[in-house]
């Protein structure tokens, strides 16, 4: 899915961009050494952090959108399994049971038909489960956030250690224990 807003994100069809255009950051060494004021340095740092955060949000949005589409496809198979069970059960039960009644007793014919419909429902539910099992975590976003946390300055204040905590790492990578 390609975007027509001119943000430089091309699509692969599953919602995840094939590439994200580079984000032009201002050159931190653009000022001659010793001539940059503290205000200019703070302004440069603020604009670079802002650009980095916007890029991270855009990447996360693109990855999550692709995974949501895969999840919806798997969910649709569960809905189809239920629809097959409900709509075809009445007519197909009686048709097949009456057909089997030619060779076996009536109660056994209806039992066989019931078991066939349960098997079809289980097969569709299993295929839907397999589709949902293929969902993956947004690895690119997690890696990018981990890289960004190494670049961002850390605070030595006791209350500001959220980015360097094991809870933050666990939130980024739930499989890590």
Contact, 1 vs 11, CB < 8 A? yes
Question: Among candidates 11, 136, 10, 128, which has minimal Cα distance to 64?
Answer: 136
Judge whether 105 lies within some domain.
yes
Judge whether 29 lies within some domain.
no
Q: Is the pTM of this model over 0.75?
A: no
Cα–Cα distance, 177 to 168 (Å, whole number)? 12
Q: How much is the pLDDT for 137?
A: 83
Judge whether 156 lies within some domain.
no
Judge whether 151 lies within some domain.
no
Domain count, the chain: 1
When pLDDT is averaged across residues 101-110 and rounded to a whole number, the result is 92
Domain that holds residue 80: 9-21+34-146
User: How does pLDDT run across 60-72, given as a tens digit for each residue?
Assistant: 888 888 888 888 8
User: How does pLDDT run across 71-90, given as a tens digit for each residue?
Assistant: 888 899 889 888 887 887 78
């Amino acid at each position: 899915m390609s975007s027509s807003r001119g943000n430089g994100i091309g699509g692969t069809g599953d919602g995840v961009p094939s590439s994200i255009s580079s984000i032009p950051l201002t050159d931190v060494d653009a000022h001659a050494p010793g001539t940059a004021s503290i205000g200019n340095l703070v302004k440069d740092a603020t604009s670079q952090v802002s650009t980095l955060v916007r890029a991270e949000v855009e990447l996360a949005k693109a990855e999550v959108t692709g995974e949501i589409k895969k999840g919806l496809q798997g969910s649709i198979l569960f809905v189809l399994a239920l629809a097959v069970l409900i709509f075809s059960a009445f007519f197909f039960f009686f048709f097949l049971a009456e057909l089997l009644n030619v060779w076996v007793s009536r109660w056994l014919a209806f039992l066989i038909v019931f078991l066939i419909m349960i098997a079809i429902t289980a097969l569709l539910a299993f295929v839907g489960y397999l589709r949902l099992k293929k969902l993956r975590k947004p690895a690119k976003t997690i890696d990018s956030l981990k890289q960004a946390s190494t670049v961002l300055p850390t605070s030595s204040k006791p209350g500001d250690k959220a980015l360097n905590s094991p809870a933050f790492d666990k939130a980024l990578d739930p499989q890590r224990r």
